[in-house]
């Protein structure tokens, strides 16, 4: 099943995601997220990202915020490592 899925704890939406295989993705989340229920908004694959982004903006689930912060940190670290590698390569070229 293709769609945007909402995980909740009975009182609030905890996490919103999108997948071309929602059933498999829910099984994966069961290992890491304690949720009591879910809802799936079925859609075409081409609509997934837009619908997911709209739902996240509307509901502002806490776990999406945590994931976004972690992803930004990872991207920043990757960028720093990339810059350091470029600087090192550049400096070595100047020394030769």
Q: What is the pTM of this model?
A: 0.70
Span 2-27, pLDDT tens digits: 999 999 998 999 999 999 999 999 99
pLDDT value, residue 66? 79
Span 28-59, pLDDT tens digits: 999 999 999 999 999 999 999 999 999 999 99
pLDDT value, residue 72? 61
Tell how many helices (H) and how many strands (E) occur in the chain: 3, 3
Query: What fold is seen in the domain 3-95?
Result: GIY-YIG endonuclease (3.40.1440)
* Dihedral-angle region of residue 10 (phi above 0 means left; psi in -120 to 50 means alpha; beta otherwise): left
Domain boundaries, the chain: 3-95
Rounded to whole angstroms, the Cα distance separating 16 from 26 reads 11
């Amino acid at each position: 099943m293709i769609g945007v899925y909402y995980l909740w704890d009975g009182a609030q939406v905890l996490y919103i995601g999108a997948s071309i295989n929602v059933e498999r993705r829910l099984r994966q989340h069961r290992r890491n997220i304690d949720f009591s229920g879910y809802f799936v908004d079925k859609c075409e694959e081409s609509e997934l990202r837009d619908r997911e982004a709209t739902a996240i903006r509307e509901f502002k689930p806490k776990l999406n915020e945590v994931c976004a912060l972690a992803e930004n940190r990872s991207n920043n670290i990757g960028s720093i490592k990339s810059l350091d590698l470029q600087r090192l390569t550049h400096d070595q070229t100047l020394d030769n």
